[in-house]
């Protein structure tokens, strides 16, 4: 079943975050994911949105999403994301496949 990962980030150290971002695509492209949106200026239509960046990713299954997130290569670069930002992420299931 298709899943989506929605992440809200507040970038606190652009130099550190850029180390993560510069390596992201090369690693991500080796998995079955699809980057749907990266937005640093989302239109807030309800409530509060404190984050400075939002990211939406699609995977064909929960297993493929976790394969990417838990891979050694991704774990190696995620330390830069963690050092350069505050992150909240959720995974949600698609209504239908």
Tell me the pLDDT tens digit for each residue of 67-93: 999 999 999 999 999 999 999 999 999
∠ CA(32), CA(11), CA(51), 5° rounding?
85
Assess if residue 97 is contained within a domain: no
Q: Are strands 53-59 and 85-93 parallel, antiparallel or unpaired?
A: unpaired
Number of domains present in the structure of the chain: 1
- CA dihedral for 50, 56, 61, 63, sign (positive or negative): negative
Evaluate whether residue 45 is within a structural domain: yes
Total length of the chain: 97
Residues 23-57: tens digit of each pLDDT: 999 999 999 999 999 999 889 999 998 898 999 99
Strand partners, 90: 6
76 within some domain? yes
**CA separation for the pair 73, 47 (Å, rounded):** 36
pTM recorded for the entire structure: 0.91
Is residue 28 in a domain?
Answer: yes
Containing domain of residue 40, as a range? 3-92
**37: CATH:** 3.30.70.100
In this structure, is residue 35 part of a structural domain?
Answer: yes
């Amino acid at each position: 079943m298709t899943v989506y990962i929605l992440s809200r980030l507040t970038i606190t150290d652009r130099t550190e975050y850029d180390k993560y971002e510069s390596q992201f695509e090369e690693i991500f492209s080796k998995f079955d994911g699809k980057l749907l949106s990266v937005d640093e200026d989302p239109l807030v239509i309800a409530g509060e949105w404190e984050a400075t960046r939002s990211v939406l990713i699609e995977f064909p299954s929960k297993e493929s999403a976790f394969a990417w997130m838990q891979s050694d290569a991704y774990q190696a670069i995620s330390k830069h994301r963690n050092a350069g930002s505050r992150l909240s992420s959720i995974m949600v299931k698609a209504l239908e496949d």
